[in-house]
Amino acid sequence: WSVMKDPGQFSILLSAALFCSGCYPVHLATSPGAAGSVVDAQTRKPLAGAEVFVSRASYQEPTADKVVPPSWPEVMREARLPVVVTGADGRFRISPTRRWAVHFVGHYTADSCGTLVVRRGGFQETMRSLDTPPSTVRVGEVQLKHTER
């Protein structure tokens, strides 16, 4: 049992045993990430100082061709760190959260989903669904509209 004394050999042996039994370790995204930029919808110029975060709350399945976003209280309750603030170029990047799991061959593993939230003083808050792979969704430009005065 010299294998038990060497963690490296033990890991290789354990991985081989799992793989041969029809399962293997995977690094699953438990909450998606997002990357993109925030711009003023009117001028199309980048917005600095916008807060961007991901919530684990997700959009509901479409009913009558209408996708239903989560409620604002649910979005805030399910919010996760980090909250990033855009710089002068308006860009942001939030990494997905991950965990290790054992995947069994033939077993479906659901993709993680969530909601991207962008807000800045003087502008309307906006939400976007993050329900498609890959684990970091490139959302492109997020346009914020000025609030009514």
- Confidence band for 104, pLDDT divided at 50, 70 and 90: low
Q: Quick check: 1 pLDDT over 80?
A: no
Tell me how far apart the alpha carbons of residues 46 and 109 are, in angstroms, rounded to a whole number.
37
Closest by CA position to 37, among listed 138, 142, 145: 142
Contact 86, 49 (CB under 8 A): yes
- Confidence band for 12, pLDDT divided at 50, 70 and 90: confident
Closest by CA position to 46, among listed 115, 120, 137: 120
Average pLDDT score over residue span 48-55: 96
Q: Is the pTM of the predicted complex or chain greater than 0.85?
A: no
Q: Quick check: 51 pLDDT over 60?
A: yes
46: DSSP letter: B
Contact 110, 13 (CB under 8 A): no
Task: Return the pLDDT at 113.
Answer: 80
Q: For residue 62, how many other CB atoms are within 10 A of its CB?
A: 9
